[in-house]
Amino acid sequence: MCGIVGYVGDRQACPILLGGLRRLEYRGYDSAGVAMVMPDGDLAVYKCKGKVDALEKYLDGKATDATIGIGHTRWATHGEPNDTNAHPHYSADGRIAMIHNGIIENYRVLKEALQAHGVVFRSETDSEVLVNLIEYIRTTEGCDLAEAVRRSLKRVVGAYAIAVIERGNTDRIIAARQSSPMAIGIGNGEYFISSDASSIVEYTQDIVYVGDGEVAVVERGKALQVFTLDNQEADIQVTRLDLSISDLERGGYPHFMLKEINEQPRTIVDCIRGRVNPDTGQVILSGIRDNIDRWLGARRVIFVACGTSWHASLIGKQLFESMCRIPAEVEYASEFRYRRPVLFPDDVVIAVSQSGETADTLAAIALAREAGAFVYGICNVIGSSIARGTDSGTYIHVGPEIGVASTKAFTGQVTVMAMMALALGERKGTLSAAQYAEVSRGLLALPDQLREVLSHSEQIADLAKIFTYARNFIYLGRGYNYPTALEGALKLKEISYVHAEGYPAAEMKHGPIALIDAEMPTVAIVPHDSTYEKTLSNVEEVKARGGKVIAVMARGDEMVRRIADYVIEVPSAVECLQPIIVSVPLQLLAYYIAIYKGRNVDQPRNLAKSVTVE
Ligand code: AGP
């Protein structure tokens, strides 16, 4: 997804803009650019296809001694990646420059109207239409830039996070957002604008999240002003973040993804801290406790999510049905939002999203709210749009997840879902004291168990080397580990570009077993759980047809060791928490295969960390 940054203050803007863009690289992009208002009032725009490094080289020798500017990393939606389509875009008369994250859905109609008034366009982008619309309104209606932005956005349909600067004004940036994230950092006599707070926290922890339909006037030496598209003053909430720079640095690891995989023993501790009593095992979750009537009166729960969060939701479904005896459904948010789903006021819709900015999930929430359902969020990013757009929720507290492939967020999401199911099941009386104690003790045991799994990383790296040849994989699991198989396959696909499919193990005989041969490895998840014998039979069926099997098995399982070609041992855990344990070696397997194939693990091709467009 595109990333936007802005700065106005007493320091040189260019290094701050470039540093901010680098912190947003994980969002995925194909070109970058900056625009600045020079001390003499001249408006300079520098942009090019490629990474921020290419932009920095391009800037070499250029005038950059400005203290106000905006910057952008572009993830192409309209128009191919090239220098012209890169942002910032500037008006035909060269007087204003703008950066944009989002999609202007009615840009064609607006473009035709502007062309009819003689406006000439350089690029194929929707964003260039908006910057020219702003300039057209400003000049023909004789209003200032902030008012021109407000009037223009009243005519726009779509999603945007924009920042606009103008020739001759070295003090003011106008920013606005609708459905795309934007944070404003308030420093000491300086302001920072960004798509997310991670590129601001090194300068200030005081953050204002601009709301949907709001316009901000960010002016040197003046208090921040925010107003709505209807010209009403908006209230400004300052959030003090407790993020640190070390949270954002690689911490000595070669990639953010490997750092985040290895953080999981600690992030599980952070996730359950204050929620599971280490002495009594008692689970207290305010999101359940404070809304208990809605939870007890729920006709069903419906999870809406995308990607990895959807896999976690499949586990959540089984947790809620087994522990709370409440009907649970899982929907791809992108399908749910267009399907005209039947919803009731006594439904509980649970939106699961690491970034809290996924457009499809946001749209699904809007549908749920329209129907009067109780909407609950399970997010990681504090203050994200989904976190602020739900009735209540639980943060997973795993810290910034920079690697595009979600790892610690997945284990954090499943952990939160298990805590929710325990807390609700106990209140509903659908869980025996023994079951409750077993699962809450299981949660407390997870950090040590994950440390044990991670201590075998080298063996997994060696195993990955053997299978770097493979062009297809199939991942098999049953029950709670069917979603784990899906998640393991997605990890491999998205960072190594090797095709992989997750499948319910029992389904093999209904078709996919025809695929089995020596060229397509099978990763079989065979822990000591209620489906063990059945899954072991599936492994033997694969072996009988010449397939190579990598089995993820309980430590010391000699039966599986005899049958499989390769094994990955994991500690045994209570069945419903097994996915948290098993997913970690699958994350490592995908990581090392991708490394051996020379892939860009943190920024895989075509992918973005947060899919804020539809
Ligand atoms: C997972 O590794 C992917 N990066 C992707 O599938 C991701 O889970 C999906 O885009 C949902 O993102 P969210 O959790 O931030 O909503």
Is there an atom of ligand 1 within 6 Å of 358 CB?
yes
Question: Pairing mode, if any, of strands 374-379 and 225-228?
Answer: unpaired
Residue nearest to atom 5 of ligand 1 (CA): 307
Share of the chain above pLDDT 90, in %: 83
Class of residue 181 by CB neighbours under 10 A (exposed 0-12, middle 13-18, buried 19+): buried
163 domain residue, yes or no: yes
pLDDT band at 172 (very low <50, low <70, confident <90, very high): very high
Atom number, ligand 1, closest to the C-alpha of residue 355: 15
| Per-residue pLDDT at 472 | 97
Cβ of 610 below 6 Å from ligand 1: yes
Residues 443 and 330 in one domain: yes
Are 287 and 435 found together in one domain? yes
Question: Which position has the higher pLDDT, 123 or 185?
Answer: 185
Q: What is the pLDDT of residues 252-309, one digit of tens each?
A: 788 999 999 999 999 999 999 989 999 999 999 999 999 999 999 999 999 999 999 9
Number of domains in the chain: 3
Using one digit for the tens of pLDDT, what is the confidence trace for 404-447? 999 999 999 999 999 999 999 999 999 999 999 999 999 999 99
Answer yes or no: is pLDDT of 97 > 70. Answer: yes
Kindly tell me if the per-residue pLDDT of 613 is higher than 70: no
Last residue of a domain, one of 196, 212, 247: 247
Q: What is the best residue among 310, 600, 611, 614 to mutate for testing ligand 1's pocket, by most ligand atoms within 8 Å of CB?
A: 611
Read off the pLDDT of each residue in 62-75 and give the average, rounded to a whole number.
92
Angle at 474 between CA 468 and CA 478, to 5 degrees: 135
pLDDT at 248 over 80: no
Q: Is residue 606 part of a domain?
A: no
Confidence of residue 492 (pLDDT cuts 50, 70, 90): very high
Q: Which domain covers residue 576, as residue numbers?
A: 457-596
Q: Is the CB of 405 under 6 A from ligand 1?
A: yes
Which pLDDT belongs to residue 256?
A: 92
Tell me which residue of 196, 192, 165 sits closest to 182, measured CA to CA.
Answer: 196
Asked if pLDDT for residue 28 goes beyond 80, the answer is: no
CB atoms within 10 A of CB 445: 16
Q: Is residue 553 part of a domain?
A: yes
Mean pLDDT of the chain: 94
pLDDT at position 79 over 80: no
Q: Is a pLDDT exceeding 70 seen at residue 27?
A: no
Query: What atom in ligand 1 is closest to the CA of residue 609?
Result: 4
**What is the layout of strands, in order, in the sheet containing 499-504?**
499-504, 472-477, 522-526, 549-554, 566-570
Q: What would the two tokens of residue 254 be? A: 């070669």
CA-CA distance, 237 to 210, in Å (whole number)?
9
Protein residue closest via CA to atom 7 of ligand 1: 307
Same domain for 307 and 195: no
> Are 254 and 312 found together in one domain?
yes
Q: How far does the chain reach from its first CA to its final CA, in angstroms?
A: 11
Residues 243 and 254 in one domain: no
What pLDDT is stored for residue 23 in this prediction?
84
Which pLDDT tens digit goes with each residue over 549-567?
A: 999 999 999 999 999 999 9
Nearest to 245 by CA among 209, 192, 204: 204
Q: pLDDT above 70 covers what percent of the chain?
A: 99
Domain shared by 83 and 71, yes or no:
yes
Mutate to test the pocket of ligand 1, among 261, 358, 609 (most ligand atoms within 8 A of CB): 358
612 ligand 1 Cβ < 6 A:
no
**Residue 254 DSSP symbol:** S
Cβ neighbours for 321, distance < 8 A, ≥ 6 positions apart: 327, 328
Residue 179 maps to which CATH number?
3.60.20.10
- Nearest C-alpha neighbor of 46 from the set 68, 22, 14, 75: 14
Give the position, in ligand 1's atom list, of the atom nearest the Cα of 409.
14
In a domain, 601, yes or no: no
> Domain check: are 235 and 376 in the same one?
no
Q: What is the pTM of this model?
A: 0.76
Looking at the CA of residue 610, tell me the nearest atom of ligand 1.
15
Per-residue model confidence (pLDDT) at position 241 = 84
With a 6 Å cutoff on the Cβ, whether 404 touches ligand 1 is: yes
Cα distances from 437 to residues 10, 272, 356, 586, in angstroms, run 57, 15, 32, 28
Task: Check pLDDT > 80 for residue 1.
Answer: no
**Same domain, residue pair 203 and 254:** no
CA of 359 to the centre of ligand 1 (A): 11
Give 403 Cα–ligand 1 centroid separation in angstroms: 11
CA angle 538, 539, 540 (to 5 degrees): 90
**Where does the pLDDT of residue 493 fall: very low under 50, low under 70, confident under 90, or very high at 90 and above?**
very high
Cα separation, 264 vs 580, in Å, equals 10
- For ligand 1, atom 10, the nearest C-alpha belongs to 307
* Rounded distance from Cα 609 to ligand 1 centre (Å): 7
- How many whole angstroms from 227 Cα to the centroid of ligand 1? 32
Which pair of tokens denotes residue 158? 């779509």
* 611 within ligand 1 shell (Cβ under 6 A): yes
**410 domain residue, yes or no:** yes
306 lines ligand 1 (CB under 6 A): yes
Instruction: Please tell me the distance between residue 584's alpha carbon and the centre of ligand 1 in angstroms.
Output: 17
Q: Give the pLDDT confidence score for residue 316 in this predicted structure.
A: 98
Residue nearest to atom 16 of ligand 1 (CA): 353
315 burial class (0-12, 13-18, 19+ CB within 10 angstroms)? buried
Rounded Cα distance between 179 and 75, Å, is 16
Indicate whether 173 and 30 sit together in one domain.
yes
Average pLDDT, stretch 366-372? 95
**How many Cα neighbours within 13 Å face the side chain of 357?**
32
611, part of any domain: no
Nearest CA to ligand 1 atom 9: 307
- What is the CB-side half-sphere exposure of residue 31 using CA atoms within 13 A? 21
Are residues 484 and 368 both part of a single domain? no
Is the pLDDT score of 610 beyond 80?
no
Helical segments of 545-577, H only: 558-563
Tell whether 461 and 360 lie within a shared domain. no
CA of 489 to the centre of ligand 1 (A): 14
Q: How far is CA 354 from CA 90, 203, 220, 609, in A?
A: 34, 24, 34, 9
Instruction: Check whether 245 has a pLDDT greater than 80.
Output: no
Quote the CA–CA distance of 396 and 408 in Å, as a whole number.
10
Whether residue 191 contacts residue 178, with contact meaning beta carbons closer than 8 Å, is answered with no
Distance 145 CA to ligand 1 centre (A): 37
Q: How many A from CA of 308 to the centre of ligand 1?
A: 5
Q: Which residues contact 119 (CB under 8 A, 6 or more apart)?
A: 92, 132, 136
116-134 average pLDDT score: 94
Total Cβ atoms within 10 A of residue 96: 25
User: Residue 324: which residues within 8 A CB-CB, separation 6 or more?
Assistant: 421, 424, 425, 428, 430, 431
Query: What is the pLDDT at residue 516?
Result: 93
Instruction: Give the DSSP per-residue string, 19-47.
Output: HHHHHTGGG--SEEEEEEE-TTS-EEEEE
Domain boundary (453, 472, 495) is at 453
Tell whether ligand 1 has an atom less than 6 A from the beta carbon of residue 354: yes
Query: In 62-92, which positions are buried (b, 16+ CB within 10 angstroms) versus exposed (e)?
Result: eebebbbbbbbbbbbbbbeeeebbbbbbbbb
Indicate which residue's Cα is closest to atom 3 of ligand 1. Answer: 405
Q: Does residue 249 carry a pLDDT above 80?
A: no
- CB 309 near ligand 1, within 6 Å: yes
For residue 446, the domain's CATH number is 3.40.50.10490
Residue labelled with tokens 């060229």: 519
Q: What is the predicted pLDDT for the residue at 103? A: 86
Output the CA 165–ligand 1 centroid distance in Å.
33
In a domain, 607, yes or no: no
- What is the average pLDDT across 577-600? 97
pLDDT at 77 over 80: no
Q: For residue 197, what pLDDT band results from cuts at 50, 70 and 90?
A: confident
Distance 610 CA to ligand 1 centre (A): 7
Whether the CB of 603 sits within 6 Å of ligand 1: no
Q: 334: Cβ below 6 Å to ligand 1?
A: no
pLDDT at 247 over 90: no
Alpha carbon 218 to its chain centroid, in Å, reads 27
- Please identify, among 403, 431, 453, the residue that sits at the C-terminal boundary of a domain: 453
Q: Which of 306, 352, 401 best tests ligand 1's pocket when mutated (most atoms within 8 Å of CB)?
A: 306
In terms of domains, do 69 and 196 share one? yes
> Is residue 483 domain-resident?
yes
Report residue 150 as tokens: 């407000």
Q: Which residues are marked as active site?
A: 2, 609
